[in-house]
A and B are shown apart, each in its own frame.
Chain A
C-alpha cells in the first residue's frame, strides 16, 4: 500500500476527497483514502476525469496530462497533484 509522507499532502487529499464527493455524492468521504482506487469507489471514466479537473481547479494548479499516466491509486494521484502544488 502506498503511503503519504508529507503533511501538506493532507491538503491535496482533502481536495481530492472533496472532488470525489462532489462528483459521486454517494461515496462516504472516509473511503477516499490513499490505498483505494477511484474505480473501486464506483467512479466511471467520466467521473474520474471530472474528479481530476475539479481537484486541479480547487488547488489552482495545472498538471500536464502526461503526468497522470503513472496514476494508479488515490495516493499516486495525490503525489502527482502535490508535485505541481506550490
Chain B
C-alpha cells in the first residue's frame, strides 16, 4: 500500500503587488529583477495571520471530504515560523475553526522552511506503520511575511500564505517513496526570526547553505537508494523556492556536479523538468515550508502527466535542515490538483499599487505581536475578500491573549 499526499491546496492571500512595482517603489536596482525571476508577491492583510491562512487553505480540502473521511483525521500538525504564542499552537486554533475531531493529535513543528517536510515524513511513516488503519493526517504549512524595506531584495521574494496537505493511504497527489530520502543538517545562522516583528538574514550564507544542503542531501539519498541518476530517475523536480532564480542555480549545480550533461543541454532540461514548478512560486513569493509543495502544485497544474512519473523534491530550512526525497505522480494527481483551481484563485487576488501596499504593510507586519486585548477593524479590508467564492476566516483581535477569529 502506498502512502502520501491525498489532497493539496494553496491559500496565497487575497492581494498582491507586482515585483516590478515594488522594485520601482523601493528604488531597487531593476537589473536584479531577472536574477530574482519573480513576478508577483502575495500580500497579507492586517486581518490575516498564520491561523487564518492555515484555515483558509485547509477548508476547501475538508469540504470535499465525506463525514467519515473527516472523522478519520487523527493528526493535525501546523508547520510555521509565524507562531502566535510560545506555548499555545497555531494548530489549536486551526483545530477549532476547522471543526476537526476531538480524538485528534494536535501540535506544531518549527524548523524554518523545512518544518512541513519533517511533519510530512513523520506523518507518512506513522500512517504506513498501520498503528491506526485508515487514519488520515493533516499537515499545514502556514506563515506570514514580516519583511519591509530593510530586507532589501528579500522583500519582493517573501510571500504570504499557507499550504494544506492531507496525507493518507492510496494517495491521489503524491505517493511518497518509502525509504527514499536523504538528509543534511547542521547549525548555522543564515536567517532567523528573533522576535514576532522582524526577520534577520545573511544572504550569502543562506544561498550557500541552500545549495550545499541540496548536494549533500541528494548524496545521502543516493547512498540509500540504488542506481539513482539525477537526469533519468526523476521525470520532474520541485524544490523549495526562496525565489525562482535560486532554483535555476540549484538545478544547474546538480546537473554540473552529479551528471555529465553538456552545458548547452542544462537549460533545456531546466525548462522541461523544473520550470513548470516555478510558475506559482514566482507569483506568490516564498511561502516558507509550504514552498516546495506549492512548487509541486505548480508542476501538476502545468505539465502533461500521461504515466506514473517520479518527482524529486528538495526541502530546505534555515538553521539548517535539508532533505531530498521523492514520490510518484500519475494522471490522477493532475485531475485531483485541478479541482482546487489554484491558478484561478491566484489570478483573483486584488492587485495593490505601491502606496496601498505600504498602508497595509505597517499594520500587517505586527499581526504576530502579542497583545492582551486588542480589536482589529475588519471593515477597511472587507472589499478585498468578500467577493471570494468560499468562506474567509479573519483575525479580529484578542481578549486576554485569546486570539479571536470570525468567518465571513
A→B interface (CB under 8 Å): 22, 44-46, 48-50, 52-54, 56-57, 65-66, 68-69
Query: Main SS of the interface on chain B?
Result: helix
Q: In the bound complex, do residue B35 and residue A46 qualify as a contact, i.e. CB atoms below 8 Å apart?
A: yes
From A45, A54, A56, A57, B204 is in contact (CB under 8 Å) with: A45
User: With A and B bound together, what is the CA distance between A49 and B206 in angstroms?
Assistant: 9
B37 → chain A closest CB, angstroms: 10
User: With A and B bound together, what is the CA distance between A81 and B212 in angstroms?
Assistant: 15
B249 → chain A closest CB, angstroms: 5
Q: In the bound complex, do residue A46 and residue B245 qualify as a contact, i.e. CB atoms below 8 Å apart?
A: yes
Name, among A44, A46, A52, A68, the residue most crowded by chain B CB atoms within 10 Å (CB to CB).
A46
For the side of the interface on B, what is the size category? 20 to 34
**Chain B contacts for A57, CB-based, 8 A:** 215, 257
Q: In the bound complex, do residue A22 and residue B256 qualify as a contact, i.e. CB atoms below 8 Å apart?
A: yes
Report the nearest A residue to B35, measured CB to CB. A44
Also in contact, A45 and B215, with CB within 8 A (given A52-B208, A65-B188, A68-B208): no
User: With A and B bound together, what is the CA distance between A46 and B153 in angstroms?
Assistant: 13
Also in contact, A49 and B256, with CB within 8 A (given A44-B35, A57-B215, A65-B209): no
User: With A and B bound together, what is the CA distance between A54 and B211 in angstroms?
Assistant: 10
Also in contact, A53 and B208, with CB within 8 A (given A44-B32, A45-B203, A46-B35): yes
Pairs A-B, 6 closest by C-beta atoms: A49-B207, A49-B208, A46-B249, A53-B211, A65-B188, A53-B212
A70 → chain B closest CB, angstroms: 12
A6 → chain B closest CB, angstroms: 25
B145 → chain A closest CB, angstroms: 20
